[in-house]
Amino acid sequence: MSTSKPETPAAQPAQPAEPQDWSSEIAELRRRQAAAREMGGADKVRIQKEKGKWTVRERVDALLDPGSFREIGSITGMADYGPDGELAAFTPANSIFGRGRIDARPVVVAGDDFTVRGGASDAAIHEKQVQAEQMANELRLPIVRLIDGTGGGGSVKQLETTGHTYIPANPGWNWVTANLSTVPVVCLGLGPVAGLGAARLVSGHYTLLLREQGFMFAAGPAIVSALGRPVTKEDLGGAMVHARSGAVDDIAEDEADAFAKARRFLSYLPSSVDGLPERGETTDPVDRCDDALDAIVPHDRRRVYDMRKIVRAVVDRDSFFELGRYWGKASITGLARLDGWPVAIVASDPMIYGGGWTADTADKLNRFIELAETFHLPVVHLVDIPGVVIGIEAEKAGTIRHAARALASVYQASVPWCSVIVRKAFGVAGAGMTNHTRFRYRYAWPSGDWGSLPIEGGIEAAYKAQLEASDDPAALRAEIEGRLNAVRSPFRTAEKFGVEEIIAPRETRPLLCEFANLAAPLRRPGPTGFGFRP
Amino acid sequence: MAVRRITAEVAGAVSEVVVVLGQAVAAEDTVVFIECMKMQLPVVSPWAGTVRAIHVEPGALVEEGQVIVDLEA
């Protein structure tokens, strides 16, 4: 053999043929993805279904536009390998995320899988949750959290394997917090939620618990019952408990309802604070006048009426989406459309403390005005506020500070604002209907009734000496009340331009649609911030 | 049929009891009026049913969440 002769390829040692493509690896990828889609396995999935719950993947599909989900981290989990180095067993991570579309707009969705270790977060791979939040923030996309799992600590059993304790840190909390000022955050509590999961659930713009399936507590009934008084899961942290406490905004009747509500909430908002709420289609004429409004408020000031009827009559048909229905009930808050434009509606409910501000009502107003300001929604306020609620319980609750905080929100808000005085506006809270130093875009109904103090309660104090000196104080009181009532007509206020314009109630919708159209070009995208408030 | 409790949504003084024992009520019917913030605020039945117990009388002071009427519904 001549050393100068070049070797031919055929002379090389025999090796396996180089694969023509990557089909073998792609098949492996698909096998792993399929294994992850099995979630906790057939038995655990069956148990989830027997409880009436959907799996996390069914939930994602129900939330998003059909076929739009693109998972990120689709083969994450805990793997065991056989002696041959081949994958022998696989348990997927119990937190999945990705992006998809809702009404054709991209969103991020992150969901807990209860079928893997009961959603315990030690099986979650925390970095996935962190990346989901960061993705929403940096790509300026709304995020929907499907929460069905326990806290961040997992189990104390872990100590046996880690061999050390650690100082707790909430994963991704900088992003969770930043997202509240950046993108719409929707949180659905679809199972038992405690600890870190509970903190993730309430850290949103629209949050709900699923009736009979969703529970939330800092610590569950076993731990709380051990402290003394036995409690059930439902009484401790059931959906209605927290809808009433104000810890969540809403309840869902079933899984489908939860996803429908999430989609609906997002339909009123821009994808981030850098956008503006988009005008929707509407077939409701702007000049539709509801004659029933001219008769809805009783002349007898002691009698109430149904404010929700008024709201529904003036906004675009079927467009009202109430938030916080079960707490802070003296004010009704919700999103709606006027001539297609998304707006924030605040409306007093005279059935609850006459519409007066309680501490929790003021808190709800704060939260809602922040939402409107953050996402550039013009505010319409239908006003019937007899004042700050009085009495021992109200004082103990620190009502005045909460009320002053709501006032600060009203005065710090920069979104376009229109008030309609339906009936009462008294005292500090009544004055909080609007920031009176802005252009007063305001109307009053003929039922308008206002002042620093209501006449009914003010006579005894103001005419104390005269009433005490009178032989017939009841008759004198009636005479004084008659004199004062004679000047109570809203027309007398309007003569002096103390109220800008009195309208027939039936004209309210056309005027509010005009407001929404005038307000639309005034909305400014970008981040907003509030200063210190009481 | 179960007994359901109608509770007060506001604190105040009962000014009028509208229903009597054994009376059938429809959902949204008023069962009691509570005087509060100088107004007559209705306590409304969320359900249709029959009045089985009335726990208040005119003049009684009630707290938020207090049971007012038991209804068999």
A2-11, A198-207, A330-339, B31-40: least confident range: A2-11
Count of beta carbons in the 10 Å neighbourhood of residue A190: 29
pLDDT for res A220: 84
Percent pLDDT > 90 in chain A is 77
Backbone torsion region of residue A384, taken as left when φ is above 0, otherwise alpha when ψ lies between -120 and 50, otherwise beta: beta
Residues B73 and B47 sit within 8 Å (Cβ to Cβ):
yes
pLDDT for res A403: 97
What secondary structure does DSSP assign to A350-415, as a single string? TTTGGGPBPHHHHHHHHHHHHHHHHTT--EEEEEEE--B--SHHHHHTTHHHHHHHHHHHHHH--S
A453-467 mean pLDDT: 82
pLDDT for res A485: 84
Instruction: In whole angstroms, give the CA distance from residue A148 to residue A108.
Output: 17
Domain edges within chain B: 3-72
Tracing tokens 């048909």 back to the chain, one arrives at A317
pLDDT for res A2: 46
- pLDDT, tens digit (0-9, with 9 covering 90-100), for A489-506: 999 999 999 999 999 999
Count of beta carbons in the 10 Å neighbourhood of residue A337: 25
pLDDT for res A1: 44
pLDDT for res A533: 93
Count of beta carbons in the 10 Å neighbourhood of residue A265: 23
Say which of A329, A389, A393 has its CB closest to residue B37: A389
pLDDT for res A323: 98
A410 CB contacts (<8 Å, ≥6 apart)? A365, A369, A432, A433, A434, A435
Chain B residues whose C-beta sits inside 8 Å of any chain A C-beta: 9-11, 36-42, 44, 63-64
Instruction: In whole angstroms, give the CA distance from residue A263 to residue A276.
Output: 17
Residues A216 and A240 sit within 8 Å (Cβ to Cβ):
no
Name which of A240, A300, A302, A360 to mutate to probe chain B: the one with the most chain B Cβ atoms within 10 A of its Cβ: A302
pLDDT for res A154: 58
Which of A191, A202, A45 minimizes the C-alpha distance to A112? A191
Instruction: In whole angstroms, give the CA distance from residue A350 to residue A385.
Output: 8
Which of A480, A479, A389, A481 minimizes the C-alpha distance to A426? A389
pLDDT band at A152 (very low <50, low <70, confident <90, very high): low
Beta-carbon pairs below 8 A across chains A and B:
45
Instruction: In whole angstroms, give the CA distance from residue A400 to residue A357.
Output: 9
Q: A460 vs chain B: nearest CA distance in angstroms?
A: 14
Instruction: In whole angstroms, give the CA distance from residue A465 to residue A468.
Output: 5
Q: A509 vs chain B: nearest CA distance in angstroms?
A: 27
Q: B38 vs chain A: nearest CA distance in angstroms?
A: 7
Instruction: In whole angstroms, give the CA distance from residue A225 to residue A227.
Output: 5
Q: Is A460 exposed, middle or buried, given 0-12, 13-18 or 19+ CB atoms closer than 10 A?
A: exposed
pLDDT for res A165: 83
Structure tokens at A523: 């909305």
Query: Which secondary-structure segment (H or E) carries A318?
Result: none
Residue A456 pLDDT exceeds 80: no
Name which of B7, B10, B37, B66 to mutate to probe chain A: the one with the most chain A Cβ atoms within 10 A of its Cβ: B37
B56-73 mean pLDDT: 94
What secondary structure does DSSP assign to A144-187, as a single string? EEEE----SS--TTHHHHH-S------TTHHHHHHHHTTS-EEE
Say which of A304, A329, A454 has its CB closest to residue B42: A304
A237-245: long-range contacts at Cβ-Cβ below 8 A with a sequence spacing of 24 or more? A238/A209, A238/A212, A239/A189, A239/A208, A239/A209, A239/A210, A239/A211, A239/A212, A239/A214, A239/A215, A240/A211, A240/A326, A242/A209, A242/A216, A243/A209, A243/A325, A243/A326, A243/A327, A244/A326, A244/A327, A245/A327
Phi, psi (deg, nearest 5) at residue A293:
-65, -30
The alpha carbon of residue A194 and the mean position of all alpha carbons in its chain are separated, in whole angstroms, by 19
Which of A324, A266, A280, A268 minimizes the C-alpha distance to A136? A266
- pLDDT, tens digit (0-9, with 9 covering 90-100), for A181-232: 999 999 999 999 988 889 999 999 999 999 999 999 888 888 889 998 899 9
Chain A partners of B40 at a C-beta cutoff of 8 Å? 302-304
Residue A90 pLDDT exceeds 50: yes
Q: Which domains does chain A have, with CATH numbers?
A: 23-161+171-267 (3.90.226.10), 291-452+489-522 (3.90.226.10)
Instruction: In whole angstroms, give the CA distance from residue A147 to residue A131.
Output: 16
Average pLDDT over chain A, rounded to whole? 92
Structure tokens at B5: 């409790």
Residue A453 pLDDT exceeds 80: no
Chain B partners of A302 at a C-beta cutoff of 8 Å? 38-40
Residue A6 pLDDT exceeds 80: no
Residue A98 pLDDT exceeds 70: yes
Q: Do A303 and B37 touch (CB under 8 A)?
A: no
Q: Is A457 exposed, middle or buried, given 0-12, 13-18 or 19+ CB atoms closer than 10 A?
A: middle
Q: Do A391 and B9 touch (CB under 8 A)?
A: no
Interface pTM (ipTM) of the complex?
0.91
pLDDT band at A10 (very low <50, low <70, confident <90, very high): low
Structure tokens at B63: 């707290």
Residue B71 pLDDT exceeds 90: yes
pLDDT for res A457: 72
A376-401 mean pLDDT: 95
- pLDDT, tens digit (0-9, with 9 covering 90-100), for B9-23: 999 999 999 999 999
Residues A413 and A372 sit within 8 Å (Cβ to Cβ):
yes
Instruction: In whole angstroms, give the CA distance from residue A57 to residue A64.
Output: 11
Say which of A302, A329, A351 has its CB closest to residue B38: A302
Tracing tokens 């501000």 back to the chain, one arrives at A357
Q: A487 vs chain B: nearest CA distance in angstroms?
A: 20
Chain A partners of B44 at a C-beta cutoff of 8 Å? 351
Residue A525's SS3 state is coil
pLDDT band at A122 (very low <50, low <70, confident <90, very high): low
Q: B42 vs chain A: nearest CA distance in angstroms?
A: 7
Phi, psi (deg, nearest 5) at residue A423:
-145, -95
Structure tokens at A533: 């408030």
Q: Do A353 and B37 touch (CB under 8 A)?
A: yes
CATH classification code of B3-72: 2.40.50.100
Q: Please, what's the b/e burial string for A37-58 (b: 16 or more CB within 10 A of its CB; e: otherwise)?
A: eebbeeebbeebeeeebbbbbe
Residues A124 and A145 sit within 8 Å (Cβ to Cβ):
no
A322-338 mean pLDDT: 98
